[in-house]
Each structure stands twice: as structure tokens, then as C-alpha cells.
């Protein structure tokens, strides 16, 4: 691993989670760390534990064993101290859509942070324009397309200018133009503002285009490799990790 001059803002040490149906997921093999300003991909097949890892980072799950720290805090017990510092896009965006209209949904967090009305309006307008979905502002959010919902969820994640973005399959269901727009915007946020990104994907191109560093996760939750993204991808056996290319993803839809 490269030498870092600061402490990690995310640290996950060999966690074990037991779901209600007694299914166990052990995320181990390597310590998982994210440092300020990185763009980190968790690359692995569907069902390997990527979402479980992200939900521990978000405090949505608490491990039976192991340790999780985000900005030095236990996110499962202290997430109220992290609100506004973390932006989130879940894989199933319907789980996080709350507002009756697109504008209301994107405005939800800044309103709950008691930002002035004018500031909320400005922030929502800016992020909708940046993602080129301002025309959706007045639409009922549950009636827009799957790709548009993902853009709305991303707008809601970005509206507070978070220090850390946690994204689960952020490019899923996006058409090629929207996909390129999102990749460009996230890279710009990272390079211009230092926003840290961690995202889960099973698609090689997403990791190659967006991540500076990555982890490979095998079925069962084992973190099998880590390092600069080009080096990690060079080591990845697509069949072993059940990974797919962008072209394959589009062909199966």
C-alpha cells in the first residue's frame, strides 16, 4: 500500500455480520481503508458482500465482530454526527427516495439541517443543473425512469457538498450519455474539491474509469487484492471474480 500522511477516514477491520435469516457474511482478508481525496472501487460479483460492506460504513448495519470507523466514529452508533458529511446512493434507490417531487426529495437533507430556504433552493438548483436533470424538478419522483431515479438519488447525495460519497452501483441503469456525465462530474468533484469517493460495482469499466484505487472482493466477502486500480485490474481474472465488461452489462439488459 502507498504511504499516506493522514489517517484513513474509513477503516473496516475484518467484520462479520449475521442477517436475520442466519446468513453470515465475513468481510476479511485485508484491512479496508480509505484516505482523504481517494476514489476507491470495491469490485466483485453480485452477492459477494459489497453492499454489506457499504452498509456497515453507513451505519445501517452493525457487525457482530470486527470494527468500523468513519471519521473516527462508530457509524452504527454515532451516525447523527456524520449527517451532512456523507452522501449516499443505495443500490435500490427506491429505499432512499422520500420527497413527493424531485425538488423536495433532493432538498430533504438540507431542509433537515435547517439551511435557509434560499440556500436550499440554490443548492438544489445547482446540483440538478450539474446533472442536467433540472427539467425533472417538479415531477413526481416515483414516476420517473430507473435511470432518472438514480440521478435524483445522486443529486440528493451531492446537495450538502459532503466530504465522503458512498455509492452502490452508481452507474447502473444510466444510458451512455448520463453515464459519461456522472463519471465526469464525480471526477471533477474529487479533483477540484477533494471529495472522497467509495463505490461498489461488478463492472470493470466503471472501476477503470472512476477509481484511483480498488479492492477485489471474492464470493463470501474475502478481500483478495488491493492497490492502484490499473494494477488491481491487471491481476483480476474476470471469470474467477465473475466480473463483466460494460459491453456485456448493456447486452444483457
Residue 235 reports pLDDT greater than 50: yes
| Average pLDDT estimate for 36-50 | 92
Q: Which domains are delineated in the chain? A: 7-85+163-172+195-253 (3.40.50.300), 92-161 (no CATH)
Is residue 32 within 8 A of residue 11, CB to CB? The reply is yes
Tell me the DSSP string of 230-247: HHHHHH--HHHHT-B-HH
| CA atoms of 158 and 155, how far apart (whole Å) | 5
- For residue range 211-224, what is the model confidence (pLDDT) as tens digits? 999 999 988 888 98
| Structure confidence at residue 29 as a pLDDT band (50, 70, 90) | confident
% of the chain exceeding 90 in pLDDT:
70
| pTM of the entire predicted model | 0.89
Q: Residue 221 CB: number of other CB atoms within 10 A?
A: 22
Amino acid at each position: 500500500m502507498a504511504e499516506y500522511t493522514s489517517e484513513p477516514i474509513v477503516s473496516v477491520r475484518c467484520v462479520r455480520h449475521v442477517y436475520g435469516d442466519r446468513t453470515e457474511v465475513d468481510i476479511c482478508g485485508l484491512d479496508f481503508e480509505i484516505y482523504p481525496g481517494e476514489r476507491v472501487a470495491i469490485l466483485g460479483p453480485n452477492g459477494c458482500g459489497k453492499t454489506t460492506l457499504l452498509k456497515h460504513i453507513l451505519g445501517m448495519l452493525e457487525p457482530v465482530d470486527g470494527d468500523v470507523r468513519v471519521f473516527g466514529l462508530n457509524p452504527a452508533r454515532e451516525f447523527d454526527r456524520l449527517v451532512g458529511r456523507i452522501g449516499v446512493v443505495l443500490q435500490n434507490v427506491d429505499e432512499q427516495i422520500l420527497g413527493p417531487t424531485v425538488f423536495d426529495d433532493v432538498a430533504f437533507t438540507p431542509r433537515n439541517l435547517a439551511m435557509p430556504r434560499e440556500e436550499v433552493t440554490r443548492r438544489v438548483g445547482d446540483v440538478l443543473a450539474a446533472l442536467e436533470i433540472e427539467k425533472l424538478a417538479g415531477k413526481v419522483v416515483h414516476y420517473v425512469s430507473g435511470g432518472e431515479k438514480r440521478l435524483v438519488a445522486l443529486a440528493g447525495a451531492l446537495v450538502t457538498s459532503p466530504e465522503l460519497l458512498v455509492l452502490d452501483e452508481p452507474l447502473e441503469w444510466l444510458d451512455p450519455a448520463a453515464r459519461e456525465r456522472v463519471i465526469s462530474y464525480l471526477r471533477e468533484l474529487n479533483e477540484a474539491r477533494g471529495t472522497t469517493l467509495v463505490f461498489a460495482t461488478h463492472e470493470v469499466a466503471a472501476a477503470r474509469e472512476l477509481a484511483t484505487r480498488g479492492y477485489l472482493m471474492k464470493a463470501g466477502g474475502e478481500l483478495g487484492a488491493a492497490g492502484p486500480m490499473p494494477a488491481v485490474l491487471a491481476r483480476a481474472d474476470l471469470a474467477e471474480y465473475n466480473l463483466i465488461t460494460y459491453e456485456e452489462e448493456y447486452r444483457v439488459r
